[in-house]
Amino acid sequence: MSDPQLVLAARVQAALSAAFGPSYADTDPVIRPSQFADLQANVALPLAKKLGRKPRDVAQEIVANLDTAGVVADVQVSGPGFINLTLSDAWIAGEAQRTLEDERLAVPTAEKPQKVVVEYSSPNVAKEMHVGHLRTTIVGDAIARILDFLGHDVVRDNHVGDWGTPFGMLIEHLLDLGEEAAARGDSSVSDLTAFYQAAREKFDGDPEFADRSRTRVVKLQAGDPETLRLWQVLVDVSKQYFNDVYGRLGVTLTDDDIRGESFYNDLLAPTARELEDKGIAVISDGALCAFPPGFTGREGEPLPVIIRKSDGGYNYSTTDLATIRYRVDTEHVDRMVYVVGAPQSLHFQMVFAVSRMAGWLDDEVKAEHAQIGNVLGTDGKILRTRAGGTVKLSELLDEAVERAGAVFDGIQHDEPFDDATREAIVRDVAMGAVKYADLSVARDSEYIFDFDRMISFNGKTGPYLQYAAARIRSIFRKGGLAPEDATGPIVVGHPAERALALELLGFGAVLKQAGDTAEPHRLASYIYAVADAYTTFYENCPVLKAPDDETRASRLALCAATLRTLVTGLSLLGVPTPTRM
Ligand code: ARG
């Protein structure tokens, strides 16, 4: 354990137990950053209330029982009873050295590895992906990568919308165009937005087409082989498009991760039956409904989760219930993380509530909605094209590359790049910019999609962090060394060395938090803090021209540890780090 907060928390807890008895061993020591020391333990204030004593006296007693050996250099009681703790330089240096030497940068794996389904991206077949999907894709991929790194058994799950009534009209429209159009990659099929809209218009304007479409839905649901084949053609066209976007973004999803709504089709009836048998679902106005307690409408009337409509058809909710039941009964998962837009919050709350009633979810098996906020344009409104349409993801990424190229050409480079190299770097910069901008904001907050701000080599941006990593590599190149050759030993003398080393020790705790809460922005902020501490260090502490060999070796080792933390951290966000920039 090298996270200073955790180490000090354990020491303070031991002191609490020694001072006030073993029942206090689990008390939260309330460790916080401090202006006057490295950290502050504020437990004396709440504890004093409980004990009916003066906070300062309680603080003094904790300090008297505190084992400082090897870790704490100085401890002071200040103000009403804050305990200011200063770590010893030798401890910080020693832990930084251990981090450097450890393959995993001293990040522990989970004590209890779980089987975790991370459901993300989940676009709809025969529809263009929009910026909302961009965000669930990027955030979900980061969550999956982080949980993977922490040693969990991660199941990536792309719950694509590939089933339901629209497929009747989509298949009929495909037949009207001629299947060969799809095989040729004809734009009438591959331009998904246009394809969908054309089908919709015919459905609304042509009764004969609408009739055919409805008959087609019935055939699809009955499993008619020819209809299923045509359906598969549409699914495949879309998959190609999804994979193209994933490839460009460097997202880890593959075809094997797709488990669309259609997969659960055969499980809908048994799911409905189980809910009925358990007395959770009842017939109301001809529909089979569950009424989870606590969900009421405006007039206080109970809100239903409709499981089977009065016409016998099943709902979006039914699929989600069948999915949970399947994951629990067949896949034995411990945790499900749904990376889906915030507007679906009520839907998930109600589906989870029904699943708890059914006993599929409980304290052992948990589901959580990792809510994703809206993406806004620079005008503060939902991002739209100038013409007012939804922004196509592929066009958005094209623009990112173009703009990244212009910004990239405007900065100083160590060396000239040939066209192919430049192009590869620019692509990484563009994707890094888009992804980091998305990930640095708390996932449930809205954020403004602003190319100018995200594609900048200054500020809290992807390109700034990529550049920081490239700069460290260039120090090693100039010194004729490989980062792996920097083995230390690390000593901390200058305050900037100390601050950087201390920052590096926080990686494991941040990752654990990001994994536990499914909040990658915690990691994004941490990486920025590391780069920031590095910049201060770099401005104050000459590395290659250090005053003596020991200092040079230590500073090179700090550079190497920083580089690996940046590269590893960014890769867990799915942000690539070009080796030269
Ligand atoms: N396909 C849906 C959409 O694009 C998202 C699916 C979310 N996942 C789920 N299990 N309902 O809005």
332 φ/ψ sector (left φ>0, alpha ψ -120 to 50, else beta): left
Phi, psi of 390 (to 5 degrees): -75, 145
Q: How many CB atoms lie within 10 A of CB 54?
A: 13
- Model ipTM value: 0.98
Tell me how many degrees the CA angle 212-214-219 measures, rounded to the nearest 5: 90
Could you tell me the pLDDT band of residue 464, with boundaries at 50, 70 and 90? very high
Could you tell me the pLDDT band of residue 142, with boundaries at 50, 70 and 90? very high
Average pLDDT, the chain: 95
Could you tell me the pLDDT band of residue 131, with boundaries at 50, 70 and 90? confident
CATH architecture of residue range(s) 393-442+451-572: Orthogonal Bundle (1.10)
Edge to edge, the sheet with strand 72-78 lists 31-33, 39-41, 82-87, 72-78
Q: Tell me the pLDDT tens digit for each residue of 492-508.
A: 999 999 999 999 999 99
Section 369-395 average pLDDT: 84
pLDDT, position 158: 98
pLDDT, position 459: 94
Residue 1 has pLDDT above 70, yes or no: no
The residue written with tokens 């590269």 in the block is 567
How many angstroms separate the alpha carbon of residue 236 from the centre of ligand 1? 19
Section 333-342 average pLDDT: 97
pLDDT, position 465: 98
Domain ranges of the chain: 4-87, 116-160+261-375, 166-252, 393-442+451-572
How many angstroms separate the alpha carbon of residue 264 from the centre of ligand 1? 14
How many angstroms separate the alpha carbon of residue 391 from the centre of ligand 1? 19
Higher pLDDT, 380 or 302: 302
Residue of 160, 340, 393 to mutate, ligand 1, most atoms within 8 A of C-beta = 340
CA 301 → CA 35, 280, 315, 350, 431, distances in Å? 53, 17, 21, 15, 48
Q: Tell me the pLDDT tens digit for each residue of 191-247.
A: 888 899 999 999 999 999 999 999 999 999 889 999 999 999 999 999 999 999 999
Q: Which residues pair with 341 in a beta bridge?
A: 372
Atom of ligand 1 nearest to the CA of 347: 11
Atom of ligand 1 nearest to the CA of 316: 11
CATH architecture of residue range(s) 116-160+261-375: 3-Layer(aba) Sandwich (3.40)
Report the C-alpha gap between 251 and 238 in whole angstroms. 17
pLDDT, position 332: 98
Please confirm whether the linkage preceding 55 is cis (ω < 30° from 0). Answer: no
CB-facing half-sphere around the CA of 509: CA atoms within 13 A: 14
Report the C-alpha gap between 5 and 14 in whole angstroms. 14
Residue 477 has pLDDT above 80, yes or no: yes
Section 298-323 average pLDDT: 94
Take atom 5 of ligand 1 and give the residue whose Cα is closest.
Answer: 122
DSSP of 195-221:
HHHHHHHHHHH-HHHHHHHHHHHHHHH
How many angstroms separate the alpha carbon of residue 368 from the centre of ligand 1? 14
Report the C-alpha gap between 424 and 412 in whole angstroms. 17
Section 376-386 average pLDDT: 82
Take atom 10 of ligand 1 and give the residue whose Cα is closest.
Answer: 320
Q: Which two tokens stand for residue 59?
A: 């603080």
Report the C-alpha gap between 137 and 120 in whole angstroms. 6
pLDDT, position 323: 98
User: Ligand 1: residues whose CB is within 6 Å?
Assistant: 119, 122-124, 159, 161, 320, 338, 340
Q: How many CB atoms lie within 10 A of CB 376?
A: 17
Query: Which range is least confidently modeled, 80-84, 178-182, 340-344?
Result: 178-182
Report the C-alpha gap between 283 and 273 in whole angstroms. 12
CA 2 → CA 9, 90, 470, 558, distances in Å? 12, 13, 27, 16
Higher pLDDT, 30 or 181: 30
pLDDT, position 378: 87
Higher pLDDT, 55 or 385: 55
Report the C-alpha gap between 159 and 165 in whole angstroms. 17
How many angstroms separate the alpha carbon of residue 122 from the centre of ligand 1? 5
How many angstroms separate the alpha carbon of residue 155 from the centre of ligand 1? 17
Section 386-412 average pLDDT: 88
Residue 187 has pLDDT above 90, yes or no: no
Section 36-62 average pLDDT: 95
Q: How many residues does the chain have?
A: 581
Higher pLDDT, 35 or 71: 71
DSSP of 374-421:
PEE-TTSSB-B-TTSSBPPHHHHHHHHHHHHHHHHHTS--SS---HHH
How many angstroms separate the alpha carbon of residue 232 from the centre of ligand 1? 19
DSSP of 88-155:
-HHHHHHHHHHHHHSTTTTPPPPSS--EEEEE----BTTS---HHHHHHHHHHHHHHHHHHHTT-EEE
306 φ/ψ sector (left φ>0, alpha ψ -120 to 50, else beta): beta
How many angstroms separate the alpha carbon of residue 135 from the centre of ligand 1? 13
How many angstroms separate the alpha carbon of residue 142 from the centre of ligand 1? 18
How many angstroms separate the alpha carbon of residue 184 from the centre of ligand 1? 30
Q: Which two tokens stand for residue 544?
A: 């290659």
Residue of 344, 347, 371 to mutate, ligand 1, most atoms within 8 A of C-beta = 344
How many angstroms separate the alpha carbon of residue 11 from the centre of ligand 1? 46
Residue of 122, 351, 368 to mutate, ligand 1, most atoms within 8 A of C-beta = 122
Q: What Rg do the C-alpha atoms of the chain give, in angstroms? A: 28
Residue of 159, 163, 316 to mutate, ligand 1, most atoms within 8 A of C-beta = 159
Dihedral of the CA atoms 510, 508, 432, 416 (nearest 10)?
Answer: 140
How many angstroms separate the alpha carbon of residue 341 from the centre of ligand 1? 8
Burial of 279 (0-12, 13-18, 19+ CB in 10 A): exposed
Atom of ligand 1 nearest to the CA of 160: 1
Take atom 3 of ligand 1 and give the residue whose Cα is closest.
Answer: 123
Atom of ligand 1 nearest to the CA of 340: 7
pLDDT, position 46: 94
How many angstroms separate the alpha carbon of residue 393 from the centre of ligand 1? 17
pLDDT, position 189: 81
Could you tell me the pTM of the whole model?
A: 0.95
Atom of ligand 1 nearest to the CA of 133: 4
Section 375-386 average pLDDT: 83
Q: Which two tokens stand for residue 490?
A: 């690390």
How many angstroms separate the alpha carbon of residue 243 from the centre of ligand 1? 18
pLDDT, position 544: 97
CATH classification number, 4-87, choose in 3.40.50.150, 3.30.1360.70, 2.120.10.90, 3.40.50.1970: 3.30.1360.70
- First vs last Cα of the chain: how many Å apart? 35
455 and 429 Cβ atoms separated by less than 8 Å: yes
pLDDT, position 164: 87
Could you tell me the pLDDT band of residue 186, with boundaries at 50, 70 and 90? confident
How many angstroms separate the alpha carbon of residue 246 from the centre of ligand 1? 17
Atom of ligand 1 nearest to the CA of 323: 10
Query: Which range is least confidently modeled, 39-48, 378-387, 427-436?
Result: 378-387
Take atom 4 of ligand 1 and give the residue whose Cα is closest.
Answer: 123
How many angstroms separate the alpha carbon of residue 269 from the centre of ligand 1? 20
